[in-house]
Amino acid sequence: MEQRIEELIAHMTLEEKAAQMVQVPYNQVTREEALEWAKKGAGSFLHVLGDEARELQAAAVKSRLGVPVLFGIDAIHGHGLNDHATIFPSQLALACSWDLELCTEMGHVTAREVATDGLHWTFSPVLCLARDLRWGRVDETFGEDAVLSGELGAAVIKGYQGDDLSAPDSILACAKHYIGYGEAVGARDACDTEITFRKLKDIFVIPFRKAVEAGCATVMTAYGSVDGTPFTISRKAMKELLREELGFQGFVVTDWDNVASLVTKQYVCENLAEASKKSAEAGNDMIMTTTAFFEEVIRLVRDGKLKEKVIDDAVRHILTVKLRMGLFEQPEKKGIPGCIGCEEHLETAKEAARESIVLLKNNGILPLRNRKRIAVIGPNADDIKAQYGDWTYFTHPNFHEKKIPVRPYVTVLEGIRRIAEVEDTEISYIKGCGVLSERDDAVEQAVALAKECDTIVFVPGDNVALHGEFHDRANLELSGKQEELYLALRKTGIPLVTLLVTSKPLCIPKEAESDALVIAFNGGMFGGQAAAEVLFGRYNPCGRLPVSFPYHSGQLPVYYNCLPGWHGGKYVDFPAEPLFSFGEGLSYTKFHYENLRFSADSLLAEIDLTNAGDRTGSEVVQVYFRDVVSSVMTPVKKLIAFRRVTLAPGETRTIGFQLRREDFALVDEQERTVTEPGEFILMVGHSSKTEDLIQTGFYLNDQSDKSDL
Ligand code: BGC
Round to whole Å and give the CA distance between 493 and 195: 48
pLDDT in tens, 27-36: 999 999 999 9
48 C-alpha to ligand 1 centroid (Å): 14
Mean pLDDT, to the nearest integer, of 321-330? 96
Atom index in ligand 1 nearest the CA of residue 72 equals: 5
DSSP one-letter string for 617-661: EEEEEEEEEEESS-SS---S-EEEEEEEEEE-TT-EEEEEEE--G
Atom index in ligand 1 nearest the CA of residue 76 equals: 10
Global confidence as pTM: 0.97
Give pLDDT, residue 706.
41
Round to whole Å and give the CA distance between 662 and 674: 7
Q: In this structure, which residue's CA is closest to atom 11 in ligand 1? A: 256
Confidence check: pLDDT of 592 > 90? yes
| 124, 160 contact by CB (below 8 A) | yes
Confidence check: pLDDT of 366 > 90? yes
b/e per residue, 282-313, with b = 16+ CB within 10 A? bbbbbbbbbbbbbebbbebbeeeebeeebbbb
Q: Grade residue 407 by pLDDT with cuts at 50, 70 and 90.
A: confident
Q: Grade residue 709 by pLDDT with cuts at 50, 70 and 90.
A: very low
Round to whole Å and give the CA distance between 351 and 694: 31
255 C-alpha to ligand 1 centroid (Å): 6
- Residue to mutate (ligand 1; options 45, 73, 74, 139; most atoms within 8 A of CB): 74
Confidence check: pLDDT of 258 > 70? yes
Query: HEC string of 233-299?
Result: HCHHHHHHHHHHHCCCCCEEECCCCHHHHHHHCCCCCCCHHHHHHHHHHHCCCEEECCCCHHHHHHH
Round to whole Å and give the CA distance between 503 and 139: 5
Round to whole Å and give the CA distance between 161 and 151: 16
Round to whole Å and give the CA distance between 259 and 254: 8
Give pLDDT, residue 553.
96
- In angstroms, the Cα distances linking 223 to 233, 246, 281, 448 are 11, 21, 17, 49
Give pLDDT, residue 337.
95
31 C-alpha to ligand 1 centroid (Å): 22
Confidence check: pLDDT of 702 > 90? no
223 C-alpha to ligand 1 centroid (Å): 9
- In angstroms, the Cα distances linking 260 to 52, 191, 263 are 27, 16, 5
248 C-alpha to ligand 1 centroid (Å): 21
- Residue to mutate (ligand 1; options 24, 73, 121, 123; most atoms within 8 A of CB): 123
Round to whole Å and give the CA distance between 407 and 414: 13
DSSP annotation of 513? G
74 C-alpha to ligand 1 centroid (Å): 7
pLDDT in tens, 163-184: 999 999 999 999 999 999 999 9
Round to whole Å and give the CA distance between 241 and 203: 13
Helix axes 482-491, 442-450, angle to 10 degrees: 30
Percent of the chain surpassing pLDDT 90: 93
466 C-alpha to ligand 1 centroid (Å): 18
459 C-alpha to ligand 1 centroid (Å): 30
CA angle 548, 205, 228 (to 5 degrees): 95
437 C-alpha to ligand 1 centroid (Å): 30
Mean pLDDT, to the nearest integer, of 193-209? 95
Q: In this structure, which residue's CA is closest to atom 2 in ligand 1? A: 255
- Residue to mutate (ligand 1; options 174, 255, 290; most atoms within 8 A of CB): 255
Q: Grade residue 508 by pLDDT with cuts at 50, 70 and 90.
A: very high
- In angstroms, the Cα distances linking 207 to 1, 23, 142, 147 are 29, 26, 10, 6
**What's the whole-number average pLDDT of the chain?**
95
Atom index in ligand 1 nearest the CA of residue 398 equals: 12
Confidence check: pLDDT of 347 > 90? yes
Decide: helix, strand or coil at residue 703: coil
For residue 599, list its beta bridge partners: 604
Ligand 1 cavity residues, CB under 6 Å: 74, 123, 176, 255-256, 469
Round to whole Å and give the CA distance between 547 and 95: 9
Round to whole Å and give the CA distance between 40 and 444: 64
Q: Grade residue 1 by pLDDT with cuts at 50, 70 and 90.
A: confident
Give pLDDT, residue 558.
96
pLDDT in tens, 522-554: 999 999 999 999 999 999 999 999 999 999 999
Mean pLDDT, to the nearest integer, of 645-668? 97
- Residue to mutate (ligand 1; options 27, 46, 114, 256; most atoms within 8 A of CB): 256
Helix axes 308-324, 2-11, angle to 10 degrees: 130
Q: In this structure, which residue's CA is closest to atom 8 in ligand 1? A: 255
pLDDT in tens, 41-71: 999 999 998 899 999 999 999 999 999 999 9
Atom index in ligand 1 nearest the CA of residue 126 equals: 9
Confidence check: pLDDT of 282 > 90? yes
102 C-alpha to ligand 1 centroid (Å): 25
Give pLDDT, residue 660.
96
Give pLDDT, residue 705.
44
Confidence check: pLDDT of 707 > 50? no
99 C-alpha to ligand 1 centroid (Å): 26
Confidence check: pLDDT of 83 > 90? no
Give pLDDT, residue 438.
63
| 222, 181 contact by CB (below 8 A) | yes
Mean pLDDT, to the nearest integer, of 464-472? 94
DSSP annotation of 700? E
pLDDT in tens, 612-628: 999 999 999 999 999 99
Residue 263, number of CB atoms within 10 A of its CB: 18
Mean pLDDT, to the nearest integer, of 696-705? 80
Give pLDDT, residue 399.
64
Which among 439-453, 485-499, 694-708 has the top mean pLDDT?
A: 485-499
Give pLDDT, residue 405.
76
Cα–Cα nearest to 174, from 232, 228, 85, 111: 111
Q: Which long-range contacts (CB under 8 A, 24 or more apart) does 293-296 make?
A: 293/18, 293/21, 293/22, 293/259, 294/18, 294/19, 294/21, 294/22, 296/272
Q: Residue 75 is which amino acid?
A: A
Q: In this structure, which residue's CA is closest to atom 6 in ligand 1? A: 256
Round to whole Å and give the CA distance between 655 and 611: 13
Q: Grade residue 398 by pLDDT with cuts at 50, 70 and 90.
A: low
CA angle 651, 656, 661 (to 5 degrees): 165
Give pLDDT, residue 274.
98
256 C-alpha to ligand 1 centroid (Å): 6
Alpha-carbon radius of gyration of the chain? 26
Mean pLDDT, to the nearest integer, of 288-298? 98
Round to whole Å and give the CA distance between 49 and 269: 35
pLDDT in tens, 91-136: 999 999 999 999 999 999 999 999 999 999 999 999 999 999 999 9
Lowest mean pLDDT among 60-74, 204-218, 362-376, 432-446: 432-446
Round to whole Å and give the CA distance between 439 and 675: 60
Cα–Cα nearest to 186, from 465, 473, 390, 468: 473
Atom index in ligand 1 nearest the CA of residue 140 equals: 9
288 C-alpha to ligand 1 centroid (Å): 9
Q: In this structure, which residue's CA is closest to atom 12 in ligand 1? A: 74
Cα–Cα nearest to 95, from 133, 143, 127, 134: 143
392 C-alpha to ligand 1 centroid (Å): 13
Q: In this structure, which residue's CA is closest to atom 7 in ligand 1? A: 256
Atom index in ligand 1 nearest the CA of residue 47 equals: 12
Give pLDDT, residue 385.
92
Atom index in ligand 1 nearest the CA of residue 176 equals: 9
| 530, 523 contact by CB (below 8 A) | yes
Q: Grade residue 397 by pLDDT with cuts at 50, 70 and 90.
A: low
